[in-house]
């Protein structure tokens, strides 16, 4: 069975703090790509897209997934980390919570 990783940020972001890129890194590619930033989110990262589909096939987990960032990365509804972990364990997965 493939491994499932669960990433959860448990600490709120510090207000007013800006993250800076290492010197020269922002000069590598002068074109800007629009991105969407999510604060205090939980992500499920699976080993492959097939395992992500298996996770989404579970109705209890699927209702807590609000988006798919990549083939193997799912975005979980805020505040639902514990419920998702319990459901993954019931499915026989051993999720690792990082954060």
In order along its 99 residues, the chain shows pLDDT tens digits of: 456 555 554 445 555 554 444 444 445 555 777 777 767 778 888 888 998 999 999 999 999 999 898 898 899 988 888 899 899 899 998 888 776
Q: In the prediction, which pLDDT does 16 show?
A: 54
> Which of 10-18's residues contact partners 24+ apart within 8 Å by CB, and which partners?
10/99, 12/39, 12/40, 13/39, 13/40
Q: In the prediction, which pLDDT does 21 show?
A: 44
Q: Compute the C-alpha angle 26/27/30, nearest 5°.
A: 95
Structure tokens at 61: 């987990």
Q: In the prediction, which pLDDT does 64 show?
A: 93
Domains of the chain by start residue, with CATH: 1-10+40-99 (3.30.780)
């Amino acid at each position: 069975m493939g491994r499932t990783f669960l990433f959860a940020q448990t600490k709120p972001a510090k207000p007013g703090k800006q993250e800076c890129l290492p010197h020269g890194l922002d000069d590598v590619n002068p074109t800007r790509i629009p991105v969407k930033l999510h604060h205090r989110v939980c992500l499920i990262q699976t080993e492959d897209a097939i395992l992500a589909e298996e996770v989404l096939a579970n109705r209890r987990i699927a209702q807590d997934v609000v988006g798919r960032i990549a083939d193997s990365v799912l975005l979980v509804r805020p505040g639902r980390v514990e419920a998702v972990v319990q459901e993954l364990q019931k499915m026989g997965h051993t999720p690792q919570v990082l954060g």
